[in-house]
Amino acid sequence: MKRRTFFKVTTTLAATLMAGAAFAQDNIIVGAVAPKTGPLAGGAAVTHWPNIKLWVDEVNARGGLNVGGEQRMLEVIEYDDQTNPAETIKAVQRLATQDNADIILAPYSTGLNIAAAPIFDRLGFPQITSSAATDQIGELSGQFNDMFFLLGRSTDLAEDAVEVLSDLREAGEIGNRVAMVNVADAFGIELMAVAKPAVEAAGFELVYETSYPLGTQDLSPIMKAVKGADPDAFVAWSYPPDTFGLTEQAMIEELDVKAFYTAVATAFPAFAGRFGAAAEGVMGIGGVNTASPEFMDYAARHEAATGAKPDYWASGMMYASLQILEEAIETTGTLDMAEVTQFIKDNAFETVMGTIDFDDQNSNTAYWTVGQWQGGEFKGIKETGRDGAVEPILKTGWE
C-alpha cells in the first residue's frame, strides 16, 4: 500500500515535472542586451531595463502572449554589453544561436543599435530601436530593412531646439546672443554639427562655443566662460553626468539666461529630483504629452511595477516598441520574424506615445523634439506631428 502511494506520488511528481518541462519549452524566449555597466549604464537603467520588466510582468500576468491561439509565457534572457559594441554583437549572436531566443529586443543608444544592425539583419530579427537618434535613417533602413526608428532624426532634434529660441526672439522675449557647448562624443558632435549652422542661419550671434571630453569632472571653467560671454540663451548638447554638472554650475555662477537647454537626462525624473524648483523652465531634448491619458496610465504602471517613474522622452518610446512587437506577434499569430517584420511595416499601432505609423524608411515621423520643465513635469513644447505641445516659458532665475 505504502509502496503504491509512493509510486503514485512519484509518478504524479514526474508527470508534473515533465509537464513543467514541456511548459518551459513553450515559453517564448525574449533576448535582451543593453548596458548594465559602462558609460551608458545609468541611462539604460532609467530608460531601457525597467520597460522590459514592466512589459514582461504585464504580459505574463495576462497569461502570456497569444501566438496562433496558444497562450505562451515570456521568459527573458538578459546580457550586459558593458556599453561595448563588440559585446552587443556577441550577445545578439549568442541569444540567437545558443539561447534560441524567439525575439531579440533592440539594444540601447544610437551607437550600440547601429553596431548591432548587421547582426540583427543577418539573423532576420526586427530591430525596433527606441533610443537611437540619427540622421542616417535612410541609409540604415535601406541596407538593413528590418531596422525601425522611433526616436527620430538628430537634425530635427537640434533644429527644433534652435527654432524654439528663434520663436522666443521673434516674440521679443530673448536677445540675440547664444552660447553653445557639446560633449566630445558621437552624439554631442553630431548635434553640434547640425545646431551650429542652424543657429547662424537663424541670425543668432554665437558668443561662445566649445566642446569638452566625456567624463569631465570640473565644468566650472566652461560655465565661467559662458557667463563671461553674457549670452541670452544657453544650449548644451550634453550627456547625463554633464547635464547635471552644467546645470549645477549654472546655478552656482547664477547664469542669468532666459532660455537654458541641456540635452540627454534633462527629461529624467532624477533631474527634477535633484534640482527641485530650480529645474522650472529648463529645456531639454525630448518631451511627451504629459496630459495624455495613455501616457499617464503608462507612467503609473511603470512606477508601480519598477518603483521608478519613466523618463519624459525615450522611456515611452521603449515601451511603445514592445507594444508594437506584441501586437505584431499576436495579430499575425506567429513567431516567424519575417512575417512579423512585414506586419510592422504595413500597419499603424496605437501606443502609449500615440499612433505610430512607419514611413517607407521604417521611420516614425511624428515625435517630440524639445521639452521643458513646467510645474514639476517635463512637457513637450516642440514636435514633428504630435498633439499636446504646450507653450514654452522663460527661465527666471535658479531659486
Partner 1 sequence: MDILITGLILGGTYALIALGLNLQYGVSRIMNLANGEMLVIGAFAAFTLFTVGQVSPLLTIFLVAPLAYVLNWLIYRIMLRPLVKRAKNRGMLEVDAILTTFGLSFVMVGLMIWAFGGDYFSYSYLARPITVFGDNYGLNRVVAFVCAAILCAALFLWLNVSRAGMAIRAVAVSPENARLVGIDVPKLSARAFALGGAVTAVGGAVISTFLTLDASTGVMFTMKALIIVIMGGVGDVRGTILAALVLGVGETFVASVIDPGLTLVAAYALFILILLFRPQGFFGRKPT
By the criterion CB under 8 A, which residues form the site for partner 1?
Answer: 35-39, 41-42, 44-46, 49, 181, 184, 210-213, 215-218, 220-222, 224-225, 240-241, 244-245, 248-249, 251-254, 265, 268, 270, 273-276, 308
Residue 35 or 231: which CB sits closer to partner 1?
35
Give the C-alpha separation, 207 to 234, whole Å: 10
**Least distance in Å: CB of 41 to partner 1?**
4
Give the C-alpha separation, 114 to 107, whole Å: 9
**One-letter amino acid of 208:** Y
293 CB neighbour count, 10 Å cutoff? 9
**Least distance in Å: CB of 75 to partner 1?**
20
120 close to 334: Cβ distance less than 8 angstroms: no
Residue 69 or 307: which CB sits closer to partner 1?
307
Residue 66 or 306: which CB sits closer to partner 1?
306
Those residues whose C-beta lies under 8 Å from the C-beta of residue 29, and which sit 6 or more positions away, are 75, 77, 99, 100, 101, 102, 103
**Least distance in Å: CB of 5 to partner 1?**
43
**Least distance in Å: CB of 220 to partner 1?**
5
317 close to 130: Cβ distance less than 8 angstroms: yes
Long-range contacts formed by 163-167: CB under 8 A, 24+ apart:
163/202, 163/382, 164/259, 164/261, 164/283, 164/370, 164/381, 164/382, 164/392, 165/199, 165/202, 165/204, 165/233, 165/235, 165/259, 166/202, 166/204, 167/392
**Least distance in Å: CB of 38 to partner 1?**
6
Residue 244 or 343: which CB sits closer to partner 1?
244
**Least distance in Å: CB of 248 to partner 1?**
5
Residue 181 or 340: which CB sits closer to partner 1?
181
Cβ neighbourhood burial of 176 (10 Å; 0-12, 13-18, 19+) = middle
Residue 63 or 221: which CB sits closer to partner 1?
221
